[in-house]
Structure 1
Amino acid sequence: MTSRNWVKLFISTLIVGGLTTGIVGFTVRWGEFEHLFTDLDILGILSTLIWLIGVGFIFSIISQMGFFAYLTVHRFGIGIFRTVSLWNSIQLFLIAFVLFDLVYFRFQAFADKGESLSQYIWKAIFILAVGLIVAFIKAKQTNKAAFIPALFFMVVVTILEWVPVLRVNEESWLYLMLFPLMACNAYQLLILHKLNEKSMQERRLKSSKKPS
């Protein structure tokens, strides 16, 4: 990828994170911010929105760090295990393991007496469902081999990026961080091959213009 397209990816992902957090923030914490709208406190609304967008930028940077870390790990995985099929099998195992941990350990750590396990399962199901949809789109846009890596990134890496608020277990922050992370991760995953193709075209065009 050319530096110009990398900067484009960085800035556009920041925008996705900021806008998503702004929308989700007002939605999941409406009880805190409702009075700003009922009182028509324009300054309060703008300052809150700017704060939410700033938080979204932070989530976006976490997402981008996770994305480039996974690209590196993916290359190492293929190199270490020699075959893509073996690496894919390991990724599937890790997906199942991380989803199980997300449900079981959160239930053990935070469940009140008599609380149902289902309240902890649905978040894992939601992440898996979104991951499957994004992975299907990615595979359709590129090739079938991209399905499992895309699913791994959308499930495992998203959950790892989500760990800071999982430890706190404050409901509104869980949603406030999860949705922007998933939006940024999905965006980067689905735009990467397009930017790579554009970078290759730009390099070819630049080469063709060089004097022989």
Structure 2
Amino acid sequence: MKKRTKTKASQSNHFPKDFMTALRTAKQAGVPFVESAGIKNISNLRTTSKKIPFPWAMKAVGKKLLHKTDVGGVKLNIQNDTEAFAAFKFMKKIPGCEYVVVQPMKKGIEIIVGGKMDPQFGPTVLVGMGGIYTEVFKDSAVRIAPLSNTNMDEMISELKIYPILAGTRGQKSINFNDLKKILMGVSKLMSTRKIRELDLNPVIATVESVQAVDVRIIEGK
């Protein structure tokens, strides 16, 4: 079975689900996520600043906002209320911005987990090296859904970055149980829902936890 490094945006008339809606769908399937809040006004922002500790990542969200980084729709390392209010006001002026997502900054190893409805094999699940270098290193493994525990172990151990995930040079391993929860959640969604494509990138892996940060779901056959 041919490997793929990243699920690609659909070229048809199928559009991604709203971010917070997609997040809830993934969480209901058992995918652990970093704490996330959808902010529509300053009042929401003030409430969130009391719940989610700084520093933050802030992202503009909208159905027609496809390249948010290019228009200043992503701000990282927001340190306090003053910076948060300034970033929010700026993003709300971006054409197509419907609301702003706030998440705590989280450091760790970046992984991608995805799903795709393959025309030949049916629902498939991918795991690999994530972040901005996904396409460069092409380090990934794919299996047909639904996944078994053996499938998940095989996929993870096939990765070139597996020694890093397992802990090298005295480092501790990531939380593989959490990573398997994500794989199983994606497997469940791909097997039981009408989903064309699903991307969780990045997924941040640490000793304590493995949590998804971003999600994209395109529904349809």
TM-score, with length taken from structure 1 = 0.36
Structure having the higher strand fraction is 2
The structure carrying a bigger helix percent of its residues is 1
Structure with max Cα Rg? 1
Higher relative contact order, chain-length normalized (CA < 8 Å, sep 6+) = 1
Q: When the two structures are superposed, what TM-score results if normalisation uses the length of structure 2?
A: 0.35
